[in-house]
Amino acid sequence: MAMQFIRYGQPRKDGPGGKFSRGGSRSGGSSRGGSSSGPRSEGRSEQRGEGRGFGGGRPTGGSRFHGGSRAGGPRRFSGGGNRFGGSRGGRRPEPRLDVTQFINKTVVQEEVQVFTPEHRFVDFAIGDALKENIVKKGYVTPSPIQDRAIPHILKGEDVVGIANTGTGKTGAFLIPLIDKVLRLPDERILIMVPTRELATQIEDEFYSFTGQMALGAVSIVGGANINRQMGILRRDPQFVIATPGRLKDLMERRAINLKRFGTVVLDEADRMLDMGFIGDIKFILSHMIVPRHTLFFSATLSREIEGLIGSFLNNPVRISVSTGPNAKAIEQDVVRTDGKNKIDVLHDLLIQPEFGKVLIFGRTKHGVEKLSHLLESRGFKAASIHGNKTQGNRQRALDAFKKSSVSILVATDVAARGIDVEDISHVINFDVPATYEDYVHRIGRTGRAGKRGKALTFID
C-alpha cells in the first residue's frame, strides 16, 4: 500500500468516576529485596527454567481492573567468552559480540540539538477536560513523537510510529484516543503490548489523563486471575490493554467480542514479534472490524512488521523519531572481567557512589533470581523481575525500585519493556544480550527525561 512518510531527525540505522473507580487489587509496598542490609534470612523459592552458578555483590551504607528483527533476522554479536572464566560441559554458549557495539564515550561539552515542537498541548483539537488534566500533569510541550503523531491520530489516520520507549509514545496514542472516546462514547479501544509491566504502565498513564472522567480501562494479562478479568470485561470498559496470549484465550472463551472495537494499537510491535506473538496478532486482527483505525508503534522495523503493516493498515502515515542507542544522553562502555569473578567485579562497581539506581540484565529467569539473592546476601537492597514470578510479585518489585526502597533491580529482557523509571543511573548487562535489538531496549532504560545515563556490558 502507498504510505505517507514523515521523519524527524535521522532514524536509527537498525532499523473518575462511576463504575470505573480506581480501587483495585494491585499491591504496593516494597519487594522481597527491600529488606535492610545484612544477610537475607528468608528461604529461597524454587525457580523453574535454566540457570547458572554465580560467585560473589555491596554492603548497604494491582490494577484498577486487574484480574489479574529486523529483515533477515536479528543481528548477533561476534567475539565472545564464558560468563565465569571457566568452562562447564553442556552449558549453552554465550552470544558472541562485537565489543565496539557497546562503546560510545560521549563528550559532555558537545552541543545537543534542541527539538522545537510545532504545537503545544493546548493547541491540539481535544476536549477542555482532557487539556486540563494534561496541564495538571505539568505537560506544556509535546515530545517529538507526540508532536508529529497526535494530529494524524486525531484525524483518524493510520500511523506507524518508530520510536523507543521513553520518548512519550504512550501519550502520543492515549491522548488522541481518549479524546476520541469522549466524542464517540460507543468507541472501544484495544491496545496490545508484549508484557504485563507495560500493560500496567499504560493503564497508570491512562488514569492520569482521565481524572474526573467516567472512563475505564482493564489490563488483560497472563499471570492474573482470568475470572476476575472476565468479570471486568462484562462492565464494558472503553480501553482494553492486553497481551496477545491472554487476549486470544479470552476470545476463545467468548469473553470479549472484538467486532465492537474500532481502534487497535500495537505498542512495541517488534518485541511482540520477537516473543513469538505474530500468529496471535494476526488471529486477533483478523477478528476485528474493517475498516478500523490502526496504530503501530515500534523501535525497529523488521520484515515481519512490514508484512503486518502491509496487510492490516490503510495508507498509514510513517513517523520516525531518532532515538537510537547512540543518543548523547547515554554513555556506553564495556567492563572486561579478564577471568575475575563476575560477582566481585559487579560488587566493586555497585559500591561506588555514582551507582545510585541500577538496572541489571541477565539472560535467564533462574540466573536473574540467583543473582538477586546473592546481591541481597551481601547486603545490597535488590529485587528481581522475570517470567516465573507472579504479576503481584513483579509489580511489588518494580514499585519498590521506583520508590527507591531497593536500589538494584535484576531483570530479564522479557520484563524490560515495562520498566519506566526516569532516574535509573546505570544499566548493566551482566549477561550479553542475544541481539542488537535487545541491547537497544536494555540501555534505553537510562538517560531519560533529560538526564544522562551510563550503560555497561560485561565481557570476558
The pLDDT value given to residue 66: 39
Low-confidence ranges of the chain (pLDDT < 50): 1-92, 106-112, 323, 325-326
Clarify whether residues 342 and 314 are in a common domain. Answer: no
Domain C-terminal end among 321, 346, 362: 321
- Do 161 and 86 belong to one domain? no
Whether 137 and 166 share a structural domain: yes
Considering the domain architecture, whether residues 340 and 407 belong to the same structural domain is answered as yes
pLDDT at 1: 45
Residue 283's identity, in one-letter code, is F
Q: Same domain for 222 and 104?
A: no
| Same domain, yes or no: 145 and 210 | yes
Q: Within a domain: residue 274? A: yes
Give the residue among 234, 263, 230, 243 at the shortest CA–CA distance from 202: 243
Which pLDDT value is given to residue 96? 57
Task: Note whether 94 and 70 are same-domain residues.
Answer: yes
- Say what the pLDDT of residue 171 is: 95
Q: Give the pLDDT score at 167.
A: 80
Check whether residue 281 and residue 155 sit in a common domain: yes
Q: Give the closest residue to 417 by CA, choosing from 207, 305, 272.
A: 272
Domain boundary among 321, 345, 364: 321
Residue 291, in any domain of the structure: yes
CATH classification of the domain holding 264: 3.40.50.300
Which pLDDT score is estimated for 393?
A: 87
Say yes or no: 253 and 304 in one domain: yes
pLDDT value of residue 9: 40
Give the domain extent around 362. 50-110+328-459
Query: Which grid cell sits at 335?
Result: 567492563
Domain count for the chain, please give it.
Answer: 2
Would you state the pLDDT for residue 172?
96
Q: What confidence score (pLDDT) does residue 449 get? A: 66
**How are beta strands 239-242 and 189-192 bridged, if at all?**
parallel
Instruction: Concatenate the DSSP letters of all residues of 187-240 into one string.
Output: --EEEE-S-HHHHHHHHHHHHHH-TTS---EEEE-TTS-HHHHHHHHTT--SEE
pLDDT at position 10? 38
Final residue belonging to a domain, choices 321, 340, 369: 321
Do the Cβ atoms of 443 and 325 come closer than 8 Å?
Answer: yes
Q: Is residue 94 domain-shared with residue 119, that is, in the same domain?
A: no
Report the run of H or E that residue 264 belongs to, with start and end. strand 263-267
- Is 203 found in the same domain as 311? yes
Q: Is residue 32 part of a domain?
A: no
Q: Under a CB-based contact definition with an 8 Å cutoff, are residues 191 and 200 in contact?
A: no
3-state helix, strand, coil in the chain (%, to 5): 35, 15, 50
pLDDT digits (tens, 9 = 90+) for 174-222: 999 999 999 999 999 999 999 888 899 899 999 999 998 999 999 999 8
Q: Spell out a b/e string for 94-119, using b for 16 or more CB atoms within 10 Å of the CB, else e.
A: bbebeeebbebebeeeeeeeeeeeee
127 and 188 both lie in a single domain: yes
